[in-house]
Amino acid sequence: MATKLVVDPITRIEGHLRIEVQTDRGRIDSAWASATQFRGIETIMKGRDPRDAWAFVQRICGVCTVVHAVASCRAVEDALGITIPANANLIRNLVHGMQFVQDHVIHFYHLHALDWVDVVSALKADPAGTARIAASLSPWPNNSATYFKSVQDRLAKFVKSGQLGIFTNGYWGHPAYKLPPDVNLLAVAHYLEALDWQRDVIRLHTIFGGKNPHPNFLVGGMASAINLDDTATINAERLVDIQAMIRRAQAFVEQVYYPDLIAIAGFYKDWASIGGGVPNFLACGEFPEGDIKDIDKLFFPRGIILDRDLSKVHPYDQKLVKEYITSSWYEYPGGDDQGLHPFEGETNPKYTGPKPPYEYLQDEKKYTWMKAPRYEGRAMQVGPLARMLVAYGSGHKEAQSLVGEVLKKLDVGPAALFSTLGRTAARGIETVMIARRMNSWFDQLVTRIKSGDTRTFDDSKWEPSKWPASSEGYGFLDAPRGALGHWVQIADGKVSRYQCVVPSTWNCSPRDANGQMGPYEASLVDNHPLADPERPLEILRTIHSFDPCLACGVHVLDGTGKTVAEVKVQ
Amino acid sequence: MPLLGAAAWSDGGTLTEQLAHRGVSRRDFLEFCGSLAVVLGLGRDAAAQVAQGLESPQRPPVIWIQLQECTGCVESVLRSAEPTIGDLVLDMVSLEYSHTIMAASGHAAEKALADSMAKHKGKYILLVTGSVPLAEDGIYLTIGGRTAKVILEEAAAGAAAVIAVGACAHFGSVQAARPNPTGAVGVGDIIKDKPVVNIAGCPPIADVVTATVAHFLTFGRLPSVDADGRPLFAYGARIHDQCPRRANFDAGQYVEVFDDEAARKGWCLYKVGCKGPATFSPCPIFQWNSGTSWPIGAGHPCIGCTERNFWDTMTPFYGRLPDVGGFGIEQRVDLIGAALAIGATAGVAAHAVATGVHQHRERQRQRQLPIAGQGPGEPPASPPSNPTGGA
């Protein structure tokens, strides 16, 4: 008989996520993903200065601390007809690139790894064995037996203290953990190294944006002026620091993260046939290397893959996006089963769930604050796997080469990509690509400065007196967690409407009017094991493979009900 | 584990002494250590080692709850340099509960929280990030089916100290900006029966959070605070008074528009909206991310994120603060603070009184027109003429 199970809170994610499942005889039969936080930032945007918008929407998420700010700047710049200087675009690429690299590494080691790595098992490791494995995987210099012994001693002291802290009640000893002790020790060592590494490389944000999290941006470009002959500007000292950070970022990704990912994945190849879920993938593309409107100049291409068919990449047209609220705590005046494009979108919150404290949501018709976006009626996965599949299908040489390399090293076929393991592997692959590419953006920036171009800001449309009476714009951005869109309308110098469709809204979406599950839900019922409902380790593996970001997904609120004209989208 | 429960960290004395005091024999203790060693996979022979570890002073327990927020404050603390987050979590405190990094989920996580609160009742430090949505009986945030308010009240009841980390826990931050759709409030609006320290900022600098914890552990009390509950060691100085660009302000050297010649010389950002004159924050002193830089250092005006209700009182962010003048520096906190709190016109403090350039301020005050209607959504006034005549 099926058992109802609740996992709330799902930890090691951003935000507040609740997963409910029905499980029977070691399998998951049905799943419900529920976002249990709501903030209402879009309503707060109304009536604000559009040049302030980036700062407000940036606070949608402090993990994706760059993505909403840049998407917002792009939307406002699109609305006002601003073309930012090439230097500003390169700086934004560097800042966003470092966001990707840092965020993906943190996800792997600090959010996802404990699903695969048994920390307590590392106590039984032979440090010399760990050292041999490390040396066989990579030239990373921290690979001596002495080093791994010191890590193990530190861990042993911690465990013996009897205060297990963040490791309390972990699922240690669960039969689904497969790594040998020596590999577990390697992962624990790199867990700690990555903590130090991320703090260093993210300083690139501080140089260009003044701080991290929540660095500063600017509609029209970037505020960090370039002057080689001043102490308070981007000068040679700062550029050298930035270049060194890029090199250290790349070294860690290529010599630690990527080899660890392959090594650990090799012990979990059964997860290459688990958790595939929704077969459709959407990427809006990212890292403009020319004019933002020239989508052929995006480093990660834009497109759609349907039914896992990599032989055809379909064009993405934002007009075909509709949002459903059949299972969400909102109401549409025209009926809750219709789908609405974001520009016609209504967001009237109406909580119909049980009064807290409550036990289950799965018996409710509506069970989440997340809406259900659909593309031509289809649920879509977004994120690293979507980007790598679209790049692969589009003939992106580097993506094809790296995807092929990973499949070969793991000795699995392309079908393995459509799985929990595939999502985690794709994240590592794109991190390698971005870490390498940052060198090119940096070199271009230096070349431009050398040629005498130091412009970082376009002031032609800064003053509201130069704006049209009304305007509207779209800002896209493919964020670490997937395709993101911001839509803004400006009237009389103020924001009249602001809408975001966010990666985790796609991935964490609930059932739509046709009963179609969202990607988290569909993955949890796709050939999915659950050995011990008391210790739902397998659920965490699949949910974490999406890198959930719930604050991003649930931010919507617009009580105006106002009809909005179609906007122009490139 | 009742034996561990007796090992309260701040009681003084070793575990053995405490156990003896409670009538637990050395033999019983070693027996327990043997069992624990087996559970930990170390083998029964390691009992003596476990005993030694347990007898050493316990790391102080810290419980971190995350409410209505963006997780930026957690990310900020992850960037802490002294101590590093690794040192903090492994060697200095015992982080008993933290959504973002703890291994367990669901019931196992909630059990860890409940067990820790019971075991360390009256002893643990409570860190809170995020606001509490009160509208509609709290349905805008539930964790484990319970509302944020219930979770906070329960956690605060047994805390030795409550530290509200970041703008959301301070006053509700962005979700509390007008019209505050979810009725978001800060920790201090809920917890009234004990002091709440506010580590202001969106997010705060990591070092301020770790230093506040260290202050409590080292001196046995929370740091002294200003009228808004912010520690004086971090928020006791106004940005404007510590700013390396202050000399440019005093000399009338202003950035008129971003990326102009003045911007490329690192001049004062006052006229492009800097809120440094109305903001108390350690940014210019501590700096961000291992002392790398800070917002003004990277050419962007301060947005005043350490001040209560800054989303409404400091916007538009690129609008110039009016010089309301007339306040002595000693009066500033209360008078301007009150003005900010009710969302009225923000004011620039009488910087000149503090710095001895009174005449300069008077000249400037007479020449500058205050911005009318500084409420949110108002377009900023057009740039004023150079108030110092290019002095």
- Domain final residue pick, B235, B269, B287: B235
Q: Are residues B131 and B212 in the same domain?
A: yes
Residue B155's contacts (CB-CB under 8 Å, 6 or more residues apart) are B63, B65, B113, B117, B126, B128
Q: Same domain for B46 and B115?
A: no
Q: Number of folded domains in chain A? A: 1
Half-sphere exposure of A453 (CA within 13 A, CB side): 13
Q: Assess if residue B17 is contained within a domain.
A: yes
State the best of A80, A95, A164, A211 to mutate against chain B, taking most chain B CBs within 10 Å.
A211
Note whether B254 and B248 are within 8 A (CB). yes
The answer to whether the CB atoms of A557 and B50 lie below 8 A apart is: no
Q: Give catalytic status of residue A61 as yes or no.
A: yes
* Residue in A163, A355, A551 closest to B94 by CB: A163
Neighbours of A448 (CB within 10 A): 17
Measured between CA atoms, the residue of chain A closest to residue B183 is A39
Which pLDDT belongs to residue B54?
Answer: 53
Q: Residue B253 falls within a domain, yes or no?
A: yes
* Whether B137 and B84 share a structural domain: yes
In this structure, the answer to whether residues B265 and B320 fall within a common structural domain is yes
Q: Is residue B385 assigned to a domain?
A: no
N- to C-terminal Cα distance for chain B? 72
Q: Which of A239-243, A443-447, B156-160, B357-361 has the lowest mean pLDDT?
A: B357-361
Q: Answer yes or no: is B386 within a domain.
A: no
Last residue of a domain, one of B16, B38, B55: B55
In terms of C-beta density within 10 A (0-12 exposed, 13-18 middle, 19 or more buried), how is residue A510 classed? buried
Q: Which residues in chain A have Cβ-Cβ distances shorter than 8 Å to B284?
A: none
Of A60, A114, A123, the CB nearest to B70: A60
0.90 exceeded by the pTM? no
A73 is known as an active-site residue: no
The answer to whether A360 touches A367, Cβ cutoff 8 Å, is no
This model of the complex carries an ipTM of 0.94
The three state secondary structure string of B35-58 is: HHHHHCCCCHHHHHHHHHHHHCCC
Please check whether residues B249 and B338 belong to one and the same domain: yes
> Is A284 assigned a catalytic role?
no
Clarify whether residues B248 and B310 are in a common domain.
Answer: yes
| B244 shares a domain with B217 | no
Q: How many domains does chain B have?
A: 3
CA distance A299 to A93: 10
Contacts of B146 in chain A (CB under 8 A): 356-357
In this structure, are B76 and B224 located in the same domain? yes
Q: Which of A6, A205, A356 sits opposite B147 (nearest CB)?
A: A356
Residue A181 located in a structural domain: no
Q: Within this chain, do residues B46 and B72 fall inside the same structural domain, yes or no? A: no
Helical pair A397-410 and A258-265, crossing angle rounded to 10 deg? 40
Task: For chain A, say whether B61 makes contact (Cβ under 8 Å).
Answer: yes
Are residues B291 and B170 part of one domain? no
State the catalytic residue, choosing from A96, A423, A427, A481: A481
Interface contact flag, B143 A8, Cβ < 8 Å? yes
Range of A9's domain?
Answer: 3-114+196-553
- pLDDT over 70 (residue B325): no
Query: Can you say how many angstroms the Cα of residue A300 is from the centroid of all Cα atoms in its chain?
Result: 15
Average pLDDT over residues B222-233: 97
B71 touches chain A (CB under 8 A): yes
Higher pLDDT, B227 or B21: B227
pLDDT at residue B383, rounded to an integer: 39
- The residue among B341, B248, B259, B345 whose CA lies nearest residue B300 is B259
Nearest CA to CA, how far is A237 from chain B (Å)? 12
**Token pair recorded at residue A280:** 């459709």
- B390 belongs to a structural domain: no
Subunit contact A59:B146, Cβ cutoff 8 A = no
Q: How far A402 CA lies from chain B's nearest CA (Å)?
A: 30
- Long-range contact set of residues B22-31: C-beta below 8 Å, sequence gap at least 24: B28/B3, B29/B3
Say yes or no: B332 and B258 in one domain: yes
Residue of A nearest to B203 (CA): A213
H or E element at residue A460: none
Assess whether A398 carries a catalytic annotation: no
d(CA A180, CA A238): 44
CATH at A290: 1.10.645.10
pLDDT for A434: 98
How far apart are alpha carbons A222 and B63 in whole angstroms?
39
Q: Which amino acid is at B225?
A: V
> What DSSP string runs through A201-265?
HTHHHHHHHSSSSS---BTTB-S--B-TT-SSSB-HHHHHHHHHHHHHHHHHIIIIIHHHHHHHH
Mean pLDDT per 10-residue run, chain A (570 residues)? 92 95 96 93 90 96 95 97 98 98 98 97 98 98 97 95 93 97 98 97 98 98 98 98 98 98 98 98 97 96 98 94 94 91 80 96 95 96 98 98 98 97 98 98 98 98 97 96 94 92 94 97 98 96 96 55 30
A500 assigned to active site: no
Kindly report the nearest CA distance between residue A437 and chain B, in angstroms: 24
Is residue B342 within 8 angstroms of chain A, CB to CB? no
Q: Tokens 């947005």 identify what position?
A: B303
Chain A residues 57-116 with CB within 8 Å of chain B: 59-63, 65, 106, 110-111, 114
The reply to whether B60 touches chain A by the CB within 8 Å rule is: no
Domain boundary at B210, B235, B260, which?
A: B235
Which residues of A are less than 8 Å from B42 in CB distance?
123, 160
Given a cut of 80, whether residue B11 has pLDDT beyond it is no
Distance from CA of B355 to the nearest CA of A (A): 23
CA distance B134 to B136: 7
Q: Residue B340 sits in a domain of what CATH number?
A: 4.10.480.10
**With the CA atoms of A314, A318, A324 and A330 taken in that order, what torsion angle do they form, in degrees rounded to the nearest 10?**
160
Smallest Cα–Cα separation from A490: which of A565, A569, A561? A565
114-173 of B, contacting A, C-beta below 8 A: 116, 133, 136-147, 150, 173
Q: Is the pLDDT of residue B372 over 50?
A: no
Q: Rounded to an integer, what distance in angstroms lies between the CA atom of residue B258 and that of residue A212?
A: 21
Q: Domain limits at B67?
A: 61-235
Q: State how far Cα B190 lies from the chain centre.
A: 17
Of the ranges A259-263, A276-280, B20-24, B202-206, which one carries the lowest mean pLDDT score?
A: B20-24
Whether residues B246 and B270 share a domain: the answer is yes
Q: How many CA atoms lie within 13 A of B151 on its CB side?
A: 30
What would the two tokens of residue A101 be? 């690299």
Which of A52, A192, A496, A557 to mutate to probe the B interface, most B CBs <10 Å? A52
Per-residue model confidence (pLDDT) at position A554: 67
Q: Which of B259, B275, B283 has the highest number of chain A CBs within 10 A, making it the mutation to test binding with A?
A: B259
Q: Are A13 and A42 in contact (CB under 8 A)?
A: no
